[in-house]
Structure 1
């Protein structure tokens, strides 16, 4: 093992030690309108990852007012860090619009938070897999 590999392995262990949140990464199919009930039924969810993570607000993000449908929403940016070696099911790529649900956190205010994936960075020399997300509440 090279010196770089040893340093990266130590950095990845330390990054994982800071992952105190638990999340579920999932994709969701399109919503379907049920003519019998007159209700829109959420699309089927496919879980891609469940496990530890670190969820943190991006400090420079002050929130952006925007309109979705007929309501005003504020977009806040978060970075979600997953263990560097996190596998996804074969043939699956992380795509914008996928979602991350915070299922538990030492900060109880984050429990149940749904974040929308905006993008991700990949690198063989990273200590964690970093995913850029938006809180669209």
Structure 2
């Protein structure tokens, strides 16, 4: 094992040790209108990853105000780091529009937070796999 490989392995162990949150990464099908009840039902969820992660707000992001239907919302950016060696089901890619739900966190205020994926960063010299997200609430 080269010096670089040893340093990366140590960095990945350290990054994973800081992953104290549990998240669920999923895609969701389109909403469906139920004519019998007159209600819109959320589309089916397809989970592609559930496990440990580190969810952090992006400090330099000031947030962006935008219109969503009849109300104004503030888009806040978060970075979700999962273990570098995480594998997804065959043929699955992380795409914008997928969602990350914080299932559990030492910070109880984070539990239940739904984040929308905006992108993912890959790299053979990274210590974690990072997914860019935003809170659209």
Once the two structures are superposed, residues 69-114 of structure 1 have per-residue CA deviations (whole angstroms, 9 ceiling, x without a partner) of 1111110000000000111100001000000000111111101000
Consecutive aligned runs of 4 or more in structure 1 exceeding 6 Å deviation = none
Q: CA deviation at 1:18?
A: 0.4
**2:125 corresponds to which residue?**
125
Structure 1 portions without partners, runs of 5+: none
TM-score after normalising by structure 2? 0.98
Once the two structures are superposed, residues 4-40 of structure 1 have per-residue CA deviations (whole angstroms, 9 ceiling, x without a partner) of 1111000000000000111000110000111111111
Moved more, 34-43 or 121-130: 34-43
**1:41 corresponds to which residue?**
41
**2:23 corresponds to which residue?**
23
The size of the alignment, in residue pairs, is: 137
**2:83 corresponds to which residue?**
83
Structure 2 portions without partners, runs of 5+: none
Distance (whole Å) between structure 2 residues aligned to residue 6 and residue 61 of structure 1: 33
Equivalences for residues 51-62 of structure 1 within 5 A: 51-62=51-62
Distance (whole Å) between structure 1 residues aligned to residue 102 and residue 83 of structure 2: 15
**2:111 corresponds to which residue?**
111
TM-score after normalising by structure 1? 0.98
